[in-house]
């Protein structure tokens, strides 16, 4: 939040970041030619986006080039409007060189427990400076060294068979935080996917600091993007999914977001869906929906839709008293993507409803009228098809109950269209 006096000064529009709308402190330019504040655009990419936020053009490279000219202009403007006590915009640091990085890594590899945390913090700060620094750090062999630190501390907090120290636990959190910054390739991911390393990540998720838990979740998301085989290996490690579900309960926006993006990729393998349901994720996710941001609402619904591909997931959603009211409320009130997910969830649980109670509840919450709007609206073909199928299933309940929302005594008499559902929308 900028100082009050700065808010009263007219900031030139091109000095503002297109994402945060705040005065840029470290302007960097994408391959699309558009400039953003480094912190904002890095957060954008960290959230899994691969587009330029202003143009929505898919980017070929996520390299961020410092915009020195704009930075100098902002510095001059900032100086002309300087207020006593206001902190100056920090000067850019020069990029790290190979010799400097290797010297720091050698120090980390050789130093004792008492000094390793300080050296790891230096490495993390260096990696945060720029994409070029991150590439330099990775190419110098940082992943193997950081992975080795994780392997040295097991899930019980023991270091190489001895009682674990606070310094080594903190070192593990620093190692995880640094690894979470990198864009790891398959070979690098395998170094971090060992049983000992994953056990340490799980331990951080259960007992680490809040910042450590967030970084652990972000690292898991990064690792799981590599394919189903990696996701399955991760799912075998005790405590990972339980830790992520626990993170959802934290009253901290970044913690919830980090957990959601990790669970979203981890939920793909069938084995993991059962683990996520058994960890109590469905209840937590549903209860987060009423107060969730737009982006998090879409993430939560995407996870729930994936979980509904399993009988356990459908049963867990059906049992929760808040599920149907919230899903129906979302049908036309949030976003097109949220609507797609909400319809898919309702459709899935109606396919295998153990009794008519669920379908009656859906009708009583007003879903019938909402679905009628959807089959005439500009939504995806799959959503239209699932909406039409739901209407056919719910029509007799709606027409037999005059108290149903939208029922005007049988004024809607035309038959609903018969739409054959393609294989693509069948339950798995």
Pairing of strands 27-29, 162-163: unpaired
- In terms of average pLDDT, the best of 5-14, 238-247, 300-309, 389-398 is 300-309
Domain boundaries, the chain: 4-80, 97-267, 322-428
pLDDT at 209 over 70: yes
Mean pLDDT across 329-342: 89
**Chosen CATH of 4-80 out of 3.30.40.10, 3.20.20.140, 3.90.600.10, 3.40.50.300:** 3.30.40.10
Q: How sure is the predictor about 107, in pLDDT bands with cuts at 50, 70 and 90?
A: confident
Asked if residues 206 and 247 have their Cβ atoms less than 8 Å apart, the reply is no
User: Is the separation of the CB atoms in 173 and 218 below 8 Å?
Assistant: no
Reported confidence tier of residue 403, pLDDT bands at 50, 70, 90: low
**Please, which pLDDT band fits residue 218 given cuts at 50, 70 and 90?**
very high
**110: which 2 tokens?**
């050789």
Residue 42, sorted as left (phi over 0), alpha (psi -120 to 50) or beta, turns out to be alpha
- Which of the residue ranges 78-87, 124-133, 354-363, 418-427 would you say has the lowest mean pLDDT? 418-427
Judged against a pLDDT cut of 60, whether residue 251 lies above it is answered with yes
Band of pLDDT at residue 43, cut at 50, 70 and 90 = confident
Is 80 exceeded by the pLDDT of residue 165?
no
422 against 279, higher pLDDT: 279
User: Whole-angstrom Cα distance, residue 208 to residue 205?
Assistant: 6
pLDDT at 276 over 70: yes
Residue 405: band (very low, low, confident or very high) from pLDDT cuts 50, 70, 90 = low
Q: Could you report the per-residue pLDDT of 14-25, keeping only the tens digit for each?
A: 899 999 888 888
Whole-angstrom distance, CA of residue 231 vs CA of residue 221: 10
C-alpha–C-alpha distance, residues 300 and 387, integer Å: 20
> Mean pLDDT for the chain?
82
Distance CA(38)–CA(115), nearest Å, equals 30
Q: What is the pLDDT of residue 247?
A: 96
- Gap between the Cα atoms of 304 and 344, Å rounded: 10
- Over residues 168-198, the pLDDT tens digits come to 889 999 999 999 999 888 899 989 988 899 9
Select from 260, 153, 254 the least CA-distant residue to 196: 153
Residues 6+ positions from 152 with CB-CB distance below 8 Å: 159, 160, 168
Given a cut of 90, whether residue 362 has pLDDT beyond it is no
- Return the number of other C-beta atoms located less than 10 Å from residue 74's C-beta: 21
What secondary structure letter does DSSP report for 322?
A: T
Q: What is the pTM of this model?
A: 0.75
pLDDT of residue 75: 83
pLDDT at 412 over 60: no
pLDDT class of 421 with cuts at 50, 70, 90? very low
For the chain, count helices (H), then strands (E). 23, 5
Q: What is the pLDDT of residue 72?
A: 85
Res. 7: pLDDT tops 90: no
Query: Residue 149: what pLDDT?
Result: 92
Quick one: pLDDT at residue 323? 94
Residue 137: per-residue pLDDT = 93
Q: Which residue has the tokens 């030619």?
A: 33
Rounded to 10 deg, the angle between the 113-129 and 142-152 helix axes is: 140
Token reading at 128: 């945060």
* pLDDT value at residue 116: 87
Which CATH code fits 97-267? 1.25.10.10
**Per-residue pLDDT tens digits for 298-310:** 999 999 999 999 9
Structure confidence at residue 326 (pLDDT): 94
Percent of the chain with pLDDT over 90: 37
Percent of the chain at pLDDT exceeding 70: 81
Over range 39-53, report the average pLDDT: 85
What is d(CA 427, CA 19) in angstroms, rounded to the nearest whole number?
38
Task: Tell me what pLDDT residue 197 has.
Answer: 92
Q: What share of the chain is helix, strand, coil (3-state, %, to 5)?
A: 60, 5, 35
Residues 6+ apart with CB under 8 A from 13: none
The pLDDT value given to residue 99:
86
Q: Which residue, among 28, 9, 4, 6, has the nearest Cα to 18 in the 3D structure? A: 28
Does residue 281 contact residue 250 with C-beta atoms inside 8 Å?
Answer: no
With CA atoms as reference, report the closest residue to 257 among 42, 18, 48: 48
């Amino acid at each position: 939040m900028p100082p009050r006096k700065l808010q009263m000064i007219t900031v030139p529009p091109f000095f503002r970041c297109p994402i945060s709308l705040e005065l840029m402190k470290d302007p960097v330019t994408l391959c699309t030619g558009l400039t953003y504040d480094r912190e904002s655009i890095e957060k954008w990419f960290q959230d899994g986006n691969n587009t330029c936020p202003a143009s929505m053009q898919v980017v070929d490279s996520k390299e961020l080039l410092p915009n020195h000219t704009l930075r100098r202009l902002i510095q001059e403007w900032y100086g002309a409007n300087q207020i006593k006590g206001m902190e100056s915009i920090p000067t850019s640091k020069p990029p790290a060189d190979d010799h400097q990085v290797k010297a720091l890594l050698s120090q980390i590899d050789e130093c004792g427990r008492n000094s390793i945390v300080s050296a790891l913090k230096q490495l993390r700060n260096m990696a945060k400076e720029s994409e070029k620094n991150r590439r330099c750090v990775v190419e110098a062999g940082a992943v193997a060294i950081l992975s080795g630190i994780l392997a040295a501390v097991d899930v019980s907090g023991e270091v190489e068979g001895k009682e674990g120290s606070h310094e080594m636990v903190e070192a593990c959190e620093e190692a995880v935080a640094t690894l979470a910054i990198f864009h790891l390739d398959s070979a690098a991911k395998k170094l971090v996917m060992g049983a000992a390393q994953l056990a340490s990540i799980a331990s951080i998720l259960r007992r680490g600091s809040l910042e450590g838990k967030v970084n652990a979740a972000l690292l898991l998301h990064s690792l799981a993007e590599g394919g189903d085989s990696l996701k399955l290996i991760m799912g075998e490690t005790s405590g990972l999914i339980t830790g992520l579900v626990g993170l959802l309960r934290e009253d901290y926006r970044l913690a919830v977001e980090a957990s959601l993006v990790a669970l979203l990729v981890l939920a793909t393998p069938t084995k993991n869906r059962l683990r996520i349901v058994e960890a109590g994720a469905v209840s937590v996710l549903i209860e987060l929906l009423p107060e969730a941001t737009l982006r998090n609402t879409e993430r939560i619904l995407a996870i729930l839709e994936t979980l509904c591909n399993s009988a356990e997931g459908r049963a867990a959603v059906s049992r929760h008293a808040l599920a149907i009211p919230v899903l129906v409320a979302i049908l036309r009130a949030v976003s097109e993507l949220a609507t797609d997910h909400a319809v898919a969830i309702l459709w899935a649980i109606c396919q295998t409803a153990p009794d008519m109670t669920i379908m009656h509840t859906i009708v009583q919450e007003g879903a019938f009228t909402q679905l009628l709007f959807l089959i005439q609206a500009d939504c995806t073909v799959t959503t239209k098809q699932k909406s039409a199928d739901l209407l056919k299933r719910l029509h007799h309940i709606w027409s037999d109950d005059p108290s149903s929302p939208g029922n005007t005594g049988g004024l809607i008499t035309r038959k609903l269209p018969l739409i054959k559902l393609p294989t693509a929308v069948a339950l798995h």
